[in-house]
Amino acid sequence: MSNPSLIDGWRKHWNRSLLLFLRRRMRISVDIEDLAQETYMRLLRTPNLVGVQNPQAYLLKVAGHVLHDWRERQPAEDSLTLVDENQLVDQCDLECDLDAQLTQARLEQILAEIPAVTRAVLILRFRDGMGRKAVSQQLALTDRQVRRHLVKGYEYLRGSFTELK
């Protein structure tokens, strides 16, 4: 997959988070969209993004660098209007915790809607870290049945979470 298509996917999934990240770190009125665009432009200049383990964290890290560079270019009198960094870190941690709680609640709601066997397969596979063979033995299913339930579960989860975006 090429960098431009990866970045487009990142933009679709995390642009709102990026804009919130930038907006919360600025007190003065600046065009946040321009800073977000600069973030994506920097990502386009990155040689290879395929191996990035945590794309959202990487995106926000690059945005932090863009913001830092923007602040460096500002006149000294504007520096008085910037938000205290420690306060921002605490606020970001709270936002991340809230986002994780909302995601967990949504995941539990989605799992409650999935058929019981499919739900059991997903939970044993991902929460408990069992392999397909162990899941099939635990639930007295064939390997093929476990694969079918995993595919159905993936499709349901993917569809449910993409509806939110």
pLDDT, tens digit only, all 165 positions of the chain: 567 787 788 788 878 888 888 888 876 657 788 888 888 888 888 878 777 788 888 888 888 888 888 888 876 554 444 455 556 666 666 777 777 777 778 888 888 889 999 999 988 988 888 899 999 999 999 999 999 999 998 888 888 866 655
> Which pLDDT score is estimated for 100?
76
Are 77 and 88 members of one domain? no
> Which pLDDT score is estimated for 105?
82
> Which pLDDT score is estimated for 44?
85
Domain containing residue 158 = 84-165
| Structure tokens given for 58 | 């990487």
Are 6 and 61 members of one domain? yes
Are 79 and 115 members of one domain? no
Are 140 and 106 members of one domain? yes
Could you tell me how far CA 160 lies from the centroid of its own chain?
15
Single-letter residue type at 43: L
Q: What is the CATH number of the domain that holds 41?
A: 1.10.1740
Which of 83, 109, 142 represents a domain boundary (last residue)?
Answer: 83
DSSP state of 74: S
Number of domains in the chain: 2
Are 78 and 1 members of one domain? yes
As a whole number of angstroms, the distance between CA 66 and CA 40 comes to: 10
Contact 22, 67 (CB under 8 A): yes
Per the confidence metrics, is the pTM higher than 0.85?
Answer: no
Q: What is the CATH number of the domain that holds 88?
A: 1.10.10.10
Are 105 and 61 members of one domain? no
> Which pLDDT score is estimated for 9?
82
Which of 83, 105, 124 represents a domain boundary (last residue)?
Answer: 83
Are 113 and 66 members of one domain? no
